[in-house]
């Protein structure tokens, strides 16, 4: 079966750095996405990786290793507004998105 694993919850301190991991087992691979979802709101797109390596976008970076079935989202200089759930999703061989359950990130002052 297809599976996306990510931690259920993480806690970090304002101003610090946090890394949210995602491992996947899917039927084929056509890219990995990270979305941010604030409580009670819709998910919004953060990043897309299809090739191995690091993609940097401001305070957020996303890394992919296809051979290991592994990705991480790195958030730097954490702000209180970064408190949200972070969803990992993989596009499979049928171009359908398989979603992880999300990681709830709690930022403490």
Partner 1 sequence: IAGITQAPTSQILAAGRRMTLRCTQDMRHNAMYWYRQDLGLGLRLIHYSNTAGTTGKGEVPDGYSVSRANTDDFPLTLASAVPSQTSVYFCASSDGGTGELFFGEGSRLTVL
Name the residue among 72, 87, 62, 70 with its Cα closest to residue 25.
Answer: 70
What's the rounded Cα separation, in Å, for the pair 66 and 70? Answer: 7
Q: x-or-dash pattern for partner 1, window 46-85, by CB under 8 A?
A: --x-------------------------------------
Least separation in angstroms between CB 68 and partner 1: 21
How many residues of this chain bind partner 1 (CB under 8 A)?
23
Q: Are 72 and 22 in contact (CB under 8 A)?
A: yes
Q: Which of 20, 78, 98, 105 binds partner 1 (CB under 8 A)?
A: 98
For the chain, report the end-to-end CA distance as a whole number of angstroms: 40
**Binding region for partner 1 (CB under 8 A):** 4, 8, 30-31, 33, 35, 41-45, 48, 87, 89, 91, 95-102
């Amino acid at each position: 079966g297809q599976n996306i694993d990510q931690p259920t919850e993480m806690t970090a301190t304002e101003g610090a750095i946090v890394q949210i991991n995602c491992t996947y087992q899917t039927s084929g691979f056509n890219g990995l996405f990270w979305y941010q979802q604030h409580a009670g709101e819709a998910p919004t797109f953060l990043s897309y990786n299809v090739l191995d390596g690091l993609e940097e976008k401001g305070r957020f970076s996303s890394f992919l290793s296809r051979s290991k079935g592994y990705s991480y989202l790195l958030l730097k200089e954490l702000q209180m507004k970064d408190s949200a759930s972070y969803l990992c999703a993989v596009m499979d061989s049928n171009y359908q998105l398989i979603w992880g359950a999300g990681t709830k990130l709690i930022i403490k002052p």
